[in-house]
Amino acid sequence: MKNREIFEKLRNWRNALAASSGMAPYRILSNNALELVAKNLPKSKDDFLRLKGWGEKNFNRYGNEVLDIIKEYQQKSNQDDLASRGICDVFDNLQSPSKEDQAISNFESPIFSVKEFMEIVNDIFQNKLGKIKIKGELGQISGREKGYAFFDFFDKENQEIKISCFASATTLRYYGDFLKEGNEVVIEAIGSLYFKTGRFSLNVLKIEPIGEGAWKIAFEKLKTKLEKAGYFSPERKRTAPFFIEKIGLITSKDGAAINDFIRNLGNGGYEIFLENVFVEGDQAEESIIEAIKRLNQMKKLPDVIVLIRGGGGWESFKAFNSEKVAEAIVSSRVPIISGIGHEKDVTIAGLSADLNFSTPTAAADFLKNHRMELKSKITGLKERLENDFQLLFLEHNNKIRDLSFKMEKSLAEKINRIEYNLGFLSEKIQKLIERMFFQLNQVTEGFEIKFKWFGIFLDREMEILQKNQERLLSKLEDHLSVFENKLLLFESKLDGINPKRILKKGYSVIFKNGKAVKSVKEIKKDQLVKAEFFDGKAVLRTEEIYFD
Amino acid sequence: MKESGQELKGDFEKLKEIVAKLDNADLDLDESLRYFEEGAELAKKCFGKLKEAKNRFEKIKISMEENSLED
* Predicted confidence (pLDDT) per residue in A71-89, tens digit: 888 877 776 665 555 555 5
Where along chain A do its domains lie?
A: 239-371, 502-541
Average the pLDDT over A340-353 and give the result.
89
How long a stretch of residues is chain B? 71
Closest chain A C-alpha to B50 CA, distance in angstroms: 7
Asked if residues A251 and A272 have their Cβ atoms less than 8 Å apart, the reply is: no
Distance CA A529, CA A426 (A): 88
Give the residue with greater pLDDT, A34 vs A224: A224
Closest CA to A371 of A242, A503, A204: A242
How long a stretch of residues is chain A? 548
Contact A400 B50 (CB under 8 A): yes
> How buried is A11 (Cβ within 10 angstroms: 0-12 exposed, 13-18 middle, 19+ buried)?
middle
The vertex-A72 CA angle with A66 and A77, nearest 5°, equals 125
Answer yes or no: is pLDDT of A198 > 60.
Answer: yes
- Under the banding of pLDDT at 50, 70 and 90, the label for residue A510 is confident
Does the CB of A430 have a partner CB in chain B at under 8 Å?
A: no
For A239-371, CATH number out of 3.40.50.2000, 3.30.470.30, 2.60.40.10, 3.40.50.10550 equals: 3.40.50.10550
pLDDT attached to residue A1: 47
Contact A407 B64 (CB under 8 A): no
Cα distances from A72 to residues A39, A81, B61, B69, in angstroms, run: 16, 14, 59, 54
Whole-number average pLDDT of chain A: 84
Give chain B as a 3 state SS string.
Answer: CHHHHHHHHHHHHHHHHHHHHHCCCCCCHHHHHHHHHHHHHHHHHHHHHHHHHHHHHHHHHHHHHHHHCCC
Answer yes or no: is pLDDT of A287 > 90.
Answer: yes
- Strands A132-142 and A304-309 come out as unpaired
Predicted TM-score of the model (pTM): 0.51
Going across the sheet that includes A246-251, the strands are A271-276, A246-251, A304-309, A336-340, A355-357
- Strands A132-142 and A149-154 come out as antiparallel
Q: How many CA atoms lie within 13 A of A465 on its CB side?
A: 6
pLDDT tens for B1-44 read 445 667 777 887 888 888 888 777 677 778 878 888 888 888 88
pLDDT tens for A456-483 read 887 887 888 778 777 777 777 777 777 6
pLDDT tens for A483-501 read 677 667 666 665 666 667 6
pLDDT tens for A85-109 read 555 555 555 555 454 444 445 567 8
Task: Encode burial over A470-486: b for 16+ CB neighbours within 10 A, e otherwise.
Answer: eeeeeeeeeeeeeeeee
Distance CA B57, CA A389 (A): 8
Could you tell me which residues of chain B have a Cβ less than 8 Å from any Cβ in chain A? 8, 12, 15-16, 18-19, 22-23, 25, 27, 29, 32-33, 36, 39-40, 43, 46-47, 50, 53-54, 57, 61, 64, 68, 71
ipTM value? 0.72
